[in-house]
Amino acid sequence: MANPFASRAGIVGVGVAIGITATLLQYFGNPPNMGICVACMERDIAGALGLHRAAVVQYLRPEIIGFVIGAFLAALLAKEYRPRGGSAPLVRFFLGVFAMIGALVFLGCPWRALLRLAGGDWNAVTGLAGLATGIGVGVLFLKSGYSLGRAYSQKPATGYLLPVLMAGLFLLLVFRVSFAEGGPLFFSQKGPGSQFAPIWMSLGAGLIVGAIAQRSRFCTMGAIRDVILLRDFHLMSGVAGLLVAAFAMNLILGQFKPGFAGQPIAHTDHLWNFLGMALAGLAFALAGGCPGRQLFLSGEGDLDAGIFALGMIVGAGVSHNFAMASSPAGAAAFGPAGILVGFIFCLAVGFTMRERA
């Protein structure tokens, strides 16, 4: 039985749909050039839960919740729901932590890098160059036999954990539960965390994107990796669809503002934009998927991808608590140190985790 979303037209269509959805979410209230940003939105969730106390980035983003549950439902319907795990979970957790530290030095995941570019933020160019460089290093490891080992089938109910957790977060959001005076939960009064599209629109968009991305295997890291490793442009055509659609929508909606300086939730520290995304790209490549893809995989029962996603959320807490996350003013005091430690960790993983030749 053919899967229409796995065709060339299918992946392009999904990329276009994501580009349109993201820019519309911005139009209806999400932060600028951040219609969908998996790293930023997981960071906001970490903030809402009190894992960090950066007051401007705290919100339980329904898009993330929708991604996991949408992918879960799509996988169930397609009979692809298959709980599996056990491929070096703790290593994947820390890959998630350092991926987030890198992404928050740049200020965005690969999806947001594309959306920033489509919105005229030219700082995204150095970020994307860094991303490709980091993935290129990951490809060298893959070529020399890098592997985190096999995953094995797990009991059917284990795969419900992350979708149920996400449903729980959604209930917390709807009822705005306050666990103590002054929070948690925390919701930003100003800054990006206070900018959001209507809850049901965000959730609906998340569910749809989660479902079609699960069917099409859309992955930004995979797109760049497959071009470098295999000269395969299948996933890249989806990424191109996202970029072109978001650019066209930004023109239509008046959201295209070209330049380097003064871009929303961005800085012009080119070196750290490059190195932040290089670290993130390497971590994504070693873990086998971009942050979005990890959420879709966790929806279809990949417990190791779920661990990576939780690592990213914890990493957001670490990143903000220890002054590693950048601000529009530029890289933070300990951002460079975080990047350095992250590279040491990722290179150690790359060199030590391999199958016999």
275 to 334, contacts with another protein by CB under 8 A?
Answer: 288-289, 304
Stretch that binds another protein, among 52-60, 230-238, 272-280, 332-340 (CB under 8 A): 230-238
C-alpha span between 278 and 1 (Å, rounded): 39
Nearer to another protein, 61 or 234 (CB): 234
Closest CA to 84 of 168, 3, 150, 166: 150
What sign for the dihedral angle of Cα 244, 298, 137, 140? negative
Binding mask 114-143 for another protein (x = CB under 8 A): ----------------------------xx
Contact 157, 308 (CB under 8 A): no
Q: How far apart are CA 99 and CA 339, in angstroms?
A: 10
Among 174, 178, 232, 253, binds another protein (CB under 8 A): 232
Q: What count of residues does the chain have?
A: 357
**Binder of another protein out of 43, 112, 116, 225 (CB under 8 A):** 225
- Cβ 157 to another protein shortest distance, Å: 18
Q: Which of 149, 85, 157, 76 is nearest to 306 (CA)?
A: 85
Under the binding rule (CB under 8 A), the answer on residue 230 touching another protein is: yes
Using the minimum distance from each CB to another protein, give the nearer residue, 225 or 267.
225
Give DSSP secondary structure letters for 314-357. Answer: HHHHHHHHTT-S-BTTBS-TTHHHHHHHHHHHHHHHHHH-B---
Of residues 10 through 69, those in contact with another protein by CB under 8 A are none
| By the rule CB under 8 A, 4 interacts with another protein | no
Candidate residues 222, 238, 292, 311; the one interacting with another protein per rule CB under 8 A: 222
Q: Which stretch binds another protein (CB under 8 A): 43-51, 219-227, 249-257, 271-279?
A: 219-227
Q: Residue 129 in contact with residue 274, Cβ under 8 Å?
A: yes
DSSP bridge partners of 85: 152
Stretch that binds another protein, among 101-109, 205-213, 227-235, 273-281 (CB under 8 A): 227-235
Neighbours of 239 (CB within 10 A): 27
- Count residues binding another protein (CB under 8 A): 26
Min dist CB 53 to another protein, Å, is 35
Phi-psi region of 58 (alpha: psi -120 to 50; beta: other; left: phi over 0): beta
Among 24, 82, 125, 334, binds another protein (CB under 8 A): 82
Instruction: Quote the CA–CA distance of 65 and 61 in Å, as a whole number.
Output: 7
Q: Which of 97, 151, 280, 349 binds another protein (CB under 8 A)?
A: 151
Contacts of 1 (CB under 8 A, 6+ apart): none
Helix (H) or strand (E) holding 85: strand 84-85
Residue 162 CA from chain centroid, whole number: 16
Candidate residues 4, 53, 152, 328; the one interacting with another protein per rule CB under 8 A: 152
- Min separation Cβ 196 and another protein, Å: 32
Using CB under 8 A, pick the residue from 43, 52, 112, 234 that binds another protein. Answer: 234
Q: Report, in Å, the least distance between residue 147 CB and another protein.
A: 6
Min dist. Cβ of residue 152 to another protein (A): 6
Binding site for another protein (CB under 8 A): 3, 6, 78, 80, 82, 84, 87, 142-143, 147-148, 150-153, 217, 222, 225-226, 229-230, 232, 234, 288-289, 304
